[in-house]
Structure 1
Amino acid sequence: MPLPFLTADRAFDEAADDIALPFDDRDRWRRPYRPGPWRVGAAALLLLLASYVLFAAVIIAFAGGLSGAAACGGGALLIIVAALRLLRMGVWVSARGLRRVGFLSTKTLPWTQVTEVRTVQQPVRWLGLPRTVQGQALVLVRGNRRGEAAAPLLTTHNADFLARPEAFERAADTVEVWAEEYHRG
């Protein structure tokens, strides 16, 4: 079964430098980068934990405790959903706008409300933890009166780009090109 949210479209990697938006169907939501090794590793560990919990559910069911087996099965299902949601997290773009998928929430912003998307040097959170380090962040400036910047969309120290500065630059450039393309239109 293909998991389209797991990998970015190959066209992002194979596109020529002069073609920024190499897609025929621009209305489809796509992530302009592949999930990083930290995110994939965490999801793999969660799926491994889910397999152990499912195995425990089978043992409990054979022992005769159906309510305990159902509870373990439900817990394993929650762990699997959490792993899949962890893989889906990130920034997605389409002709309709920019979508930021978090673990518990998804926010979509139409391109008409985007004033600017730019890369800035600032303190960023390391792997989403409270500790901050100096790095780069792709920030979105909304079209409100105050012109305040929102939380960073991508950073050089998040689970997708830690120790992968080239991948961050490529993803940030792609999101900036999408924003420029649809902000003009």
Structure 2
Amino acid sequence: MPLPFLTADRAIDTTYDVALPFDDRERWRRPYRPGPWRVGTAALVLLLASFVLFAAVVIALTGTLSSAGLVFVVALAVVAAALRLLRMGVWVGARGLRHVRFLVTRTAPWEQVVSVRTAQRPVRWLGLPRTVQGQALVLDRRGRSAQTVPPLLTTHDADFLGRPAAFDRASDAVEAWADEYRRR
């Protein structure tokens, strides 16, 4: 029995065979899709936000408006956290390489990038303190040692856990961007 949704997914995956598939390179782009762990966590956080928003409506109808406003602000903070969770990752553009984490965003201009390479090393499992052996995409910058810069991507983060082929495609795409823009 043919399953058309499987062939459609393969058609989407073939767009990442080209290293630099974007015409407008001035915009910041993530050269890979967010992983299922990241999207699932953000969906659960948004579900929690919907319950908090419902609680704000109930409080507004039965209680004081100031307490309902406070609960509404908490719901907006939860929605902002879910959106930030979805924005996390590595972004590339003509100006440099941007590593977006939950609270910190660091941008490395292409002039400071010495190399972007894949290395076998202990990596954190889903960002937790537990480490496992895996691969990491490491950024070497001028003036900084490799130990001070956290890895850009790992095989065990929320985007690539259980998807080694997706990690290989994403790391190849980031390396291709770095190779092209370091030559300029």
Q: 1:33 offset after TM fit, Å?
A: 0.7
Letter matched to residue 48 of structure 2:
L
| 1:170 matches 2:172 | no
Aligned length: 172
Q: Which runs of 5+ in 2 are unaligned?
A: 1-11
Q: Distance in 2 between matches of 1:171 and 1:87?
A: 16
Matches of 2:146 and 2:123, distance apart in 1 = 17
Structure 1: which 4+ aligned runs deviate by more than 6 Å?
none
Query: Mapping of 1:100-111 within 5 angstroms?
Result: 100-111=99-110
Structure with greater helix share of residues? 2
Matched to 1:181, the amino acid is E
Whether 1:42 aligns to 2:45 is no
Alignment correspondent of 2:72:
73
Deviations 1:68-123 (A, max 9, x none): 11111010000000000000000000111000111111111111100000000000
Alignment partner, residue 61 of structure 1 = 60
Partner of 1:82: 81
| Equivalent position of 1:129 in the other structure | 128
What TM-score comes out, normalization by structure 2 length?
Answer: 0.89
| Rounded Cα–Cα distance in structure 2 between residues aligned with 1:30 and 1:40 | 18
TM-score by length of 1: 0.88
Distance of aligned partners of 1:68 and 1:113 in 2 relative to their CA distance in 1, 3 Å threshold: same
8 Å Cα contact 2:16/2:169 also seen in 1: no
Give the percent of matched residue pairs that are identical in Structure 1 and Structure 2: 69
Give the Å deviation of 1:148. 3.0
The question of 1:151 aligning with 2:147 is answered no
Structure 1: which 5+ residue stretches go unaligned? 1-11
In structure 2, relative to structure 1, the CA distance for the partners of 1:73 and 1:147 (3 Å cut) is: closer
Mapped to 1, the partners of 2:41 and 2:15 lie a distance apart of 29
Equivalent residues of 2:155, 2:167 under 8 A apart:
yes
